[in-house]
Structure 1
Amino acid sequence: MTSQERPPALAIADFIHLLDEHMPQVRAGGFSVVDMGWGSCTMRVAASERTSRAGGTISGPTMFALADLALYGAVLSQVGNVPLAVTSDMNIHFLRKPPLRPLLGEARILKPGKRLAYGEVLIRSEDDPVPVAHATGTYAIPVG
Structure 2
Amino acid sequence: MAKQSKRTIPALIYQYQGPQRNVGFVLSPLYIHESVEVEMEDMLFIYNEDFDYIRPALDRIFPLIDPRTGEEMKALDPCWENPIIKDVWTEILSALDQQLVTDPELRIFLNRFTVWVRNHLQWADGIEVIGNL
| The two structures share one fold, judged by TM-score above 0.5 | no
Q: Which has the larger radius of gyration?
A: 2
Structure with a larger share of its residues in helix? 2
Structure with a larger share of its residues in strand? 1
TM-score class, shorter-chain normalisation, is under 0.3
Q: Which has the higher contact order (CA 8 A, sep 6+)?
A: 2
The TM-score with structure 2 as length reference comes to: 0.25
